[in-house]
């Protein structure tokens, strides 16, 4: 089991029409590659997107059966992370913004800054996500500074 970071054509806001188009392309990619699971395992927000305030997605993370244990890439690179687990409603735009507001406030208080990409990883199984009005998300911001 391994990880695939599927690149979007351009960064897109999670839940936007542009992201919906990218998700359709992702589904076509999965359908053409039987070894790839057809649901997102998580999302990558580049450091530049975090810093400019947009927090748009650049990659969809999914699972692949093509890798051996030794050559499977990591989901999240090693480093110091600020992690927030948040209960998100399916209409997640406002709650996602609130999560990042909490993270930003904590980083200011602790003298931390963004040091790399950010990862959003749903922690519920996909079946639960489809049958529920909420799911839990890990927001993982790579940080550096005096509090790291």
CATH number at residue 49: 3.20.80.10
Residue 131's pLDDT band (cuts 50, 70, 90): low
Q: What is the count of structural domains for the chain?
A: 1
Average pLDDT of the segment spanning 96-115: 92
Share of the chain above pLDDT 90, in %: 34
Does residue 138 carry a pLDDT above 90? no
Average pLDDT of the segment spanning 112-126: 83
Average pLDDT of the segment spanning 27-48: 86
* pTM metric for this prediction: 0.80
Instruction: Return the exposure string of 109-135: e unless at least 16 CB atoms fall within 10 Å of the residue's CB, then b.
Output: eeebebebbbbbbbeeeeeebeeeebb
Average pLDDT of the segment spanning 98-114: 93
- Give the range of the structural domain holding residue 109, as residue numbers without chain letter: 2-145
Q: In what order do the strands lie in the sheet with 81-89?
A: 2-12, 57-64, 42-45, 112-122, 134-145, 81-89
Give the containing element (helix H, strand E) for 57.
Answer: strand 57-64
Does residue 128 carry a pLDDT above 60? no
Does residue 19 carry a pLDDT above 80? yes
Q: Where are the beta strands (DSSP E) in 65-133?
A: 81-89, 112-122
């Amino acid at each position: 089991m391994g990880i695939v970071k599927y690149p979007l054509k351009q960064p897109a806001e999670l839940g936007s029409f542009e992201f919906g188009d990218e998700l359709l392309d992702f589904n076509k990619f999965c359908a053409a590659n039987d070894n790839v699971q057809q649901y997102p395992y998580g999302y990558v927000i580049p450091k530049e997107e975090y810093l400019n305030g947009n927090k748009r997605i650049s990659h969809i993370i999914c699972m692949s059966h093509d890798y051996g244990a030794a050559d499977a890439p990591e989901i999240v690179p090693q480093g110091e992370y600020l992690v927030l687990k948040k209960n998100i409603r399916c209409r997640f735009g406002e709650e996602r913004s609130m999560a990042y507001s909490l993270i930003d406030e904590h980083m200011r208080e602790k003298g931390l800054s963004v040091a790399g990409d950010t990862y959003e990883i749903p922690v519920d199984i996909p079946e639960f996500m489809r049958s529920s009005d909420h799911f839990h998300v890990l927001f993982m911001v790579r940080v550096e500074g005096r509090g790291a």
